Amino acid sequence: MKNATVQLASLCMVLSAGAAEEQLSAVITPAFTPITWERLVDARNEPHNWLMYSGTIDSQRYSLLDDINVDNVDRLEMKWAYQIPVIDRAETVPLVVDGIMFITEAPSNVVAVDARTGREYWRYDHEMPDDLRICCGRNNRGVAILGETLFMSTLDAHLVAIDARTGNLLWDTEVAPHESGYSKTAAPLIVKDKVVTGVAGGEFGIRGFIDAYDPATGEREWRTYAIPGPGELGNDTWSGDSWKTGGAATWITGSYDADLNQIYWGTGNPGPDWNGDVRLGDNLYSDSVLALDGDTGSIVWHFQFTPHDVHDYDAIQIPILADIKFNDRERQVMMWANRNGFFYTLDRSNGQFLAGKPYAAQTWAQGLDPVTGRPIRVPGMAPTYEGIMVSPPIVGATNWYSPGYSQDTGLFYVTSFDGEQEFFKRDEDYQEGERFTGGGGRYTSPMDAFHSSIRAINPETAEIEWEFPIMPRSSAGITTTAGGLVFTGSADGYFFALDASTGEELWNISLGRRVHAAPITFSVNDKQMISIASGNVIYTFGLRN
């Protein structure tokens, strides 16, 4: 093989390192350098890249790039489009690493493309069994990167590691048995030297958990169940054996505070979703945010938004972390617009409730306890065999789609839906691998009858500062920029930019199909770009030259 090595060395031009590379990088897409944990913690300060699902570990989705701004955003034009070959809906949030974009595709594939042109370097197609249990379509929302390795959740509930330079599979770990109803769709979160990831399957009577894996080997380092086992604090909030099949899936990406060394992760509905008779009690830690120790995964604190949920009001939102002035005091807060229709500001160091108000139509609670933040229920709003009208509907006042926060305006932005639905319950027995929902819901009015909007909320008062109406309802995430912009999309296929201060519409383009993902922004060769998935296509925009 010595011969081969010599041959290879001779055939590849040896590049003089350092200065020459730097000089050339302006002309040709450079190779990416390994992504260290330090770079991930400091991701905001390399705004030319989009290094994780929510942009930064505080999940603000706020970029310091301002080349595209309130004065010139109407000069955006399409630079390229990438068509995902498998026809499904794209919920992907790509990463951009030094000029290379990593896009996930349905069902669980990854493609690496040149971020300037959208043209492919390599692809990884995940082999899938033919007996998947998935609730809501063949989705994948993105990868995480550490070093030179990408980490991806797959629909068959595996976590895979992929070489970011070649697309080679490095390891493939089964996180949970897919045949029991587990699946995985969310981008993992890197926390120091671990890959942290949750699991989906809340409609199949699973028992949710958050896991951490060794990025080099795929070995599991810790697992924290989102439902306490026997003898653990909170297990008695489930009647009988209902904790075993209580759901509390963890199907979206969390956030991390490096100073507090706490991981924040939302949990989903208790199961069965709409029949609470078989799981009496608060059902901890369903519909909660969990603060986990960054090293051990042990629960530091929890806050349950919706105790004993019977409406599928998952707390599956991305926790946005910021340090803000609250009642004239600097506070480390977490902002959360919940599927249940309430917006919350919590102290993220200890989970203390600071403020909370409805931000969308809701009829199930009279309000929140001003001290604890616990909802005060309206009697008689639980699903019945005949059906009862409740707001928000099952899809929620918002859902998994990322909210955003701007450090310039201090506002929190969320896609909200003022809808209502008739909820009904059914008696169902648990059968492993089968749906276990205990009911459902139906609309009695057409979607166009409802009101949807992008809402800007002041986290100190929980008051809505402005709203921009859209229709019929959106499932797009939000990204904000130092250019004073809020970027998002709509179900009727628009991608648009609003003024972050006023909500005024500044630019829109019809992309032809539903926007089901959150935008990202990055720059290549010092030119700011913005990408969004619509239908099965990733569109990338930049300013007209």
Partner 1 sequence: MIFNLNRLSPKLLRVALLVIVLGISSYPSGWLFNSAQAEDAGNLYNTAVDIRMGNRYFERQCSRCHGFDAKGNDETGAPDLTGRLRRASSDTGIFSIIREGVPGTAMIPVATDVTNATVWQLVAYINSLRYDPASVELAGDAKTGGKLFAGKADCSVCHMVDGQGGRLGPDLSRIGENKTPEDLLLAMLDPDEEVAPRWWRVRAAGADGVIREGFRMNEDSFSLRIMDIDSNLWSFQKRDILNYERFEKSTMPSYAKSLSDGELDDLVAYLFTLRREVLP
Q: What is the binding site for partner 1 (CB under 8 A)?
A: 1-5, 7-9, 11-15, 20, 23-24, 27-32, 85-88, 99-100, 106, 112, 114, 116-117, 119-122, 125, 127-132, 134-138, 161, 163, 165-166, 168-171, 179
In the complex, minimum distance from the CB of residue 83 to partner 1, in angstroms, rounded to a whole number:
12
Nearby residues of 532 by Cβ (< 8 Å), 6 or more positions away? 476, 487, 489, 495, 511, 515, 517, 518, 519, 520, 538, 539
Nearby residues of 376 by Cβ (< 8 Å), 6 or more positions away? 365, 366, 367, 368, 369
Pull the structure tokens for residue 373: 């933040």
In the complex, minimum distance from the CB of residue 444 to partner 1, in angstroms, rounded to a whole number:
21
In the complex, minimum distance from the CB of residue 394 to partner 1, in angstroms, rounded to a whole number:
15
In the complex, minimum distance from the CB of residue 125 to partner 1, in angstroms, rounded to a whole number:
8
Nearby residues of 77 by Cβ (< 8 Å), 6 or more positions away? 541, 542, 543, 544
Three-class DSSP category at 22? helix
In the complex, minimum distance from the CB of residue 26 to partner 1, in angstroms, rounded to a whole number:
9
Q: Which is nearer to partner 1, 105 or 309 (CB)?
A: 105
Nearby residues of 42 by Cβ (< 8 Å), 6 or more positions away? none
193 class by beta-carbon count within 10 Å (0-12 exposed, 13-18 middle, 19+ buried): middle
Q: Which is nearer to partner 1, 107 or 459 (CB)?
A: 107
| DSSP states along 334-387 | EEEE-TTSEEEEEETTTTEEEEEEE-S---SEEEE-TTT--EEEPTT-S-BSS-
- Side by side, the strands of the sheet bearing 520-524 are 76-83, 537-543, 527-534, 520-524
- Which of 312, 328, 347, 429 is labelled catalytic? 312
What DSSP character marks residue 263?
Answer: E
Q: Which is nearer to partner 1, 167 or 319 (CB)?
A: 167
Q: Which is nearer to partner 1, 112 or 315 (CB)?
A: 112
| DSSP states along 285-350 | TTTEEEEEETTT--EEEEEESSTT-SS-----SPPEEEEEEETTEEEEEEEEE-TTSEEEEEETTT
User: Between β-strands 479-481 and 62-63, what pairing exists: parallel, antiparallel or unpaired?
Assistant: parallel
Pull the structure tokens for residue 304: 């349950």
Q: How many CB atoms lie within 10 A of CB 385?
A: 11
- Side by side, the strands of the sheet bearing 95-97 are 95-97, 100-105, 109-114, 120-124
In the complex, minimum distance from the CB of residue 524 to partner 1, in angstroms, rounded to a whole number:
10
Q: Which is nearer to partner 1, 95 or 134 (CB)?
A: 134
CA–CA gap between residue 165 and residue 64 (Å, rounded): 27
In the complex, minimum distance from the CB of residue 30 to partner 1, in angstroms, rounded to a whole number:
8
Closest CA to 439 of 241, 211, 273, 244: 273
In the complex, minimum distance from the CB of residue 423 to partner 1, in angstroms, rounded to a whole number:
19
CA–CA gap between residue 346 and residue 356 (Å, rounded): 9
Q: Which is nearer to partner 1, 15 or 233 (CB)?
A: 15
Q: Which is nearer to partner 1, 216 or 233 (CB)?
A: 216
Q: Which is nearer to partner 1, 160 or 322 (CB)?
A: 160
Residue 312 known to be catalytic? yes
List the catalytic residues. 312
